[in-house]
A and B are shown apart, each in its own frame.
Chain A
Amino acid sequence: MTQLTAQWELVSKIKANNELVLKQLYQSNYKKIEGYILKNSGSMPQAKDIYQEAFITVWKNIKEGKFSPHNETALQGYLYQIARNKWTDELRSSRFKKTNSLESFHQFSENGEENTTSLFEEKEQKIALAEEAFQKIGDECKQLLSQFYFEKKSLRDIAALFNIGEASARNKKYRCIQQLKELVTNNE
């Protein structure tokens, strides 16, 4: 397998939320980006925040098919570049505006994040609301929904995990989604 096909495999595993691959990607790239942010007037908590936001952007863009690797380190480079862009934006934002000026050209367009269409922002806001609501539903719902939609476990495996029948796992999942939707609509 060539390095490039390895990148494609990485992409397909990220799409499937493969925990091992996500963990590896997260941990092996953090130090480099932290180093960059610390060198450019950032703090450690800021480095962590920016990195995690960049990681989510990369993950989302991969899921939406907006990223295709063109060389053997494309993905790592992409993550680094997006984190840099985000940090540059942070520095340009109100808090830093007066004191800092930095070289700031963006090599990668983030597809929508850069040329912000209001539609895109609106969607992001809605997703943020859903995230917020997710934090408020019961632990059991959180677990179940996370296992099904993030970890992509089968209902059968989830049923075994919760020690219930497959049919009740299926119903429970539906009720949890209803609960989540209700919370979102009440907050809107």
Chain B
Amino acid sequence: MNKDSKISQELLETVERYLNNTMDATEKLQFEKSLKKNNTLRQQVEDIKILLSGIETASLREKMEEFHHQMAQEIKEIPVRNITKNNRTNSRLFYAVAASAVILLGIFWMFNPKNTNEMLFNEYFSVDPGLPTTMGSTDEFSFYDGMVNYKRKEYDEALEKWRQLLRQKNNNDTLNYFIGVTYLAKGNTEEAIPFLEKVTTQKESMFLEDSYFYLGLSNLKNDNLEDAKENFRKSNTEEAQKILKALEKK
């Protein structure tokens, strides 16, 4: 790498534009022309490319360590049972104890009111089927692209696309609704609630009733019974009325 040829900030940013393909046609033509003519420039561009490759590769290595570590963690969490001849009697005892513990837990679970909430949630929660993905205008492409992921249960991908869109369309009820519902599908009520609440502030939204319904389910899952009932009362959907009846019986 050339010690003496200093890279200016302007050059660095020009090369960035060149590599990212964000130059307009004239600038690109001009730049490629000077690249051909000017040896020093060519060398400087090569140097910058190498620096950026180094940064990217080192960053990827760090990421890979993370991926690897997470994978190893997950494997550790799967219990390993190792039964050999010598400890078979021990393990039989172990299973007997384990089995009665499971039964006891089950009994406890059924009588714990918190878990009836969970049961109701599971009974009534089904993922919103989503919107038909016919492409309308082009600016809606990434919304429907996310919808394709959503329908395939690739929730993280869908969320990534929609949350990016949300930056431009912060108040869009459709986006807020589906982001909320996706979080709920992932079991993440904490994240789901604020998005669904945002939809319920828009009284003429076509997602208003459904939002109240899913908001109710989120609160039910969190054992906020009173909030849940309030939400279900505000939703006129058939499901909401059914679950409300079940809750008021308790």
Contacts and interface: CB of A to CB of B under 8 A. Distances in A.
A151 B3 CA distance: 29
A30 B7 CA distance: 40
Nearest to A21: B157
B165 to A, nearest CB: 16
Tell which of A145, A151, A181 has the most Cβ of chain B within 10 Å.
A181
A86 to B, nearest CB: 15
A127 B68 contact: no
B50 A126 contact: yes
A27 B63 CA distance: 12
Given A1-B148, A26-B67, A27-B67, A184 B51 contact: yes
A127 B60 contact: no
Given A130-B50, A180-B55, A22 B63 contact: yes
B89 interface: no
B127 interface: no
Tell which of A123, A128, A130, A151 has the most Cβ of chain B within 10 Å.
A130
Contact of B61 (A20, A30, A52, A185): A52
A17 B67 contact: no
A130 B59 contact: no
A127 B50 CA distance: 5
B67 A146 contact: no
Contacts of B50: 123, 126-127, 130, 184
A159 interface: no
A150 B1 contact: no
Nearest to A174: B9
Contact of B55 (A126, A129, A145): A145
18 contacts: A1-B148, A22-B67, A26-B64, A26-B71, A48-B68, A52-B64, A52-B68, A123-B50, A130-B55, A145-B55, A146-B62, A149-B59, A177-B48, A178-B7, A180-B55, A184-B50, A184-B54, A185-B2
